[in-house]
Amino acid sequence: MKSVMVFISVSMFILLIALSCSGGASVRGDEVNVIEKTLQELRDEGVSETDEGMLIVKRYQFYLSELSQGKAYMDWRQNSNPPIYNATVFLRLMDQEIIRKIARNTINGKDAFTGITGFFERAYISDVDNTIDSYIIYIPHSFNSSKEYPLVVNLHGYGDSAHLNPYSPAHLQLLKACEQREVIMVAPCGRQKLPIQQGLYVGDAETDVLQVLSLVKKYYPIDEKRVYLTGNSMGGFGSYWIASRHPDLIAAIAPVCGIWSGILGFPRVDLDALKEIPVLLFHNDRDGVVPVSESRSAYEYLKKTGGEVEYREITISKQDLWDSRLFNGHNAWDFAYEGTTLIDWLLQFSK
């Protein structure tokens, strides 16, 4: 776990400072060279342009191209395809051995990410528009391909870029819990519909989440009876929405400050479809973005249906409002994902 924390918290912090202070970002020649050489090597070996090893290296090439043009870094508002800039990819680019391992696996006909654990990005051809897309995944360092693993699908919030933000306190805690409890975590993009709005995990975005779920099951030994959903804000809505529409796939959910009742332009969730799915809710009592009534009313409704539901409301004092983590009371995620409480609760349940 030490290597994970150094990788995410120290290296990423330094890299983010360097990139953000550069007024765009400079790209070193050796970074470009290793990508270009790897692409050429894969092509020389006859690797298909749609092989995942080829796709992820092309994804890296895209990021470097964007940076070399001085385009905005980590700007979720970019109406581009691929629609994200992912901080983790740049750290992986610093580790040329990771690139070499991906290339060796691909040339040898293996899954491109065989033997790679921790926090990284995988690429695929999207069912939405047949273009390259990607997702973030966390594989515990103790991973053993001969055993099955629980899977937590983590859905990002509005404006949270398109992937899990690995340098926030909440996500560091979630990754640590996944490592401790030997849980695989995946964070889909959830197709954006920018610049008008984000995908809200509906339509194309829902298709994207389901495709990523299918891919993870293809590449890793997932216990299909223990697949869970969580997410914050817009991702909290996504947890409700995906589970209500595909209850056969999900064992339990943990929406954090999520919407369900149809407010703020979101579709209304059919809570009756969740009565067989355990639900754990989190919300701040002073939330100024998503009213706390959303979680309170969901709790009361699900309780009346006889469903398995728990609600943990975070009480914020006036003094607490100065805490920079709270963002006008909306931030329930730093509290929900602290420690192993949320993961332990989900792991109680299976289909």
Q: What is the pLDDT of residues 74-117, one digit of tens each?
A: 444 444 444 444 555 555 555 788 889 999 999 999 999 999 99
Residue 27 has pLDDT above 80, yes or no: no
* DSSP 8-state class, residue 286: T
| E-assigned strand segments in the chain | 118-125, 132-139, 149-155, 184-187, 222-232, 252-256, 279-284, 309-314
pTM over 0.75: yes
| E-assigned strand segments in 217-292 | 222-232, 252-256, 279-284
Residue 255 has pLDDT above 90, yes or no: yes
DSSP for 206-225?
A: HHHHHHHHHHHHHHS-EEEE
Q: How far is CA 137 from CA 186, 216, 252, 289, in A?
A: 4, 9, 19, 29
Q: What per-residue confidence (pLDDT) applies to 26?
A: 46
Q: What per-residue confidence (pLDDT) applies to 16?
A: 40
For the chain, give the percent of residues with pLDDT over 70: 75
SS3 (DSSP) at 309: strand
Rounded Cα distance, 17 and 266, in Å: 35
Buried b (16+ CB within 10 A) or exposed e, 206-224: bbbbbbbbebbeebbebbe
Task: Identify which has the larger pLDDT, 31 or 313.
Answer: 313
Rounded Cα distance, 30 and 242, in Å: 42
Q: How many CA atoms lie within 13 A of 7 on its CB side?
A: 22
Q: How far is CA 278 from CA 231, 250, 273, in A?
A: 15, 10, 11
What sign results for the dihedral spanned by CA atoms 248, 249, 253, 258?
negative
* DSSP 8-state class, residue 24: S
pLDDT tens, position by position, 31-64: 668 889 999 999 999 999 999 999 999 988 887 7
pLDDT tens, position by position, 112-169: 999 999 888 899 999 988 888 888 899 999 999 999 999 999 998 876 655 555 556 6
CB-CB contact of 274 with 307 (8 Å):
yes
Q: Which domains does the chain have, with CATH numbers?
A: 1-111 (no CATH), 120-351 (3.40.50.1820)
Which residue(s) pair with 197 in the sheet?
193
Q: How big is the chain by its Cα radius of gyration, in Å?
A: 20
CB-CB contact of 91 with 11 (8 Å):
yes
CA angle 262, 263, 265 (to 5 degrees): 90
Q: What per-residue confidence (pLDDT) applies to 216?
A: 98
DSSP for 74-120?
A: S-TT---SS----HHHHHHHH-HHHHHHHHHHHHTTS-TTTT--EEE
Chain centroid to CA 133: 13
Query: Furthest-apart CA pair in the chain: how many Å?
Result: 64
Question: Which candidate, 284, 260, 281, 280, places its Cα nearest to that of 332?
Answer: 284
When pLDDT is averaged across residues 272-287 and rounded to a whole number, the result is 94
How many other β-carbons are positioned within 10 Å of the β-carbon of residue 280? 24
Task: Identify which has the larger pLDDT, 5 or 208.
Answer: 208
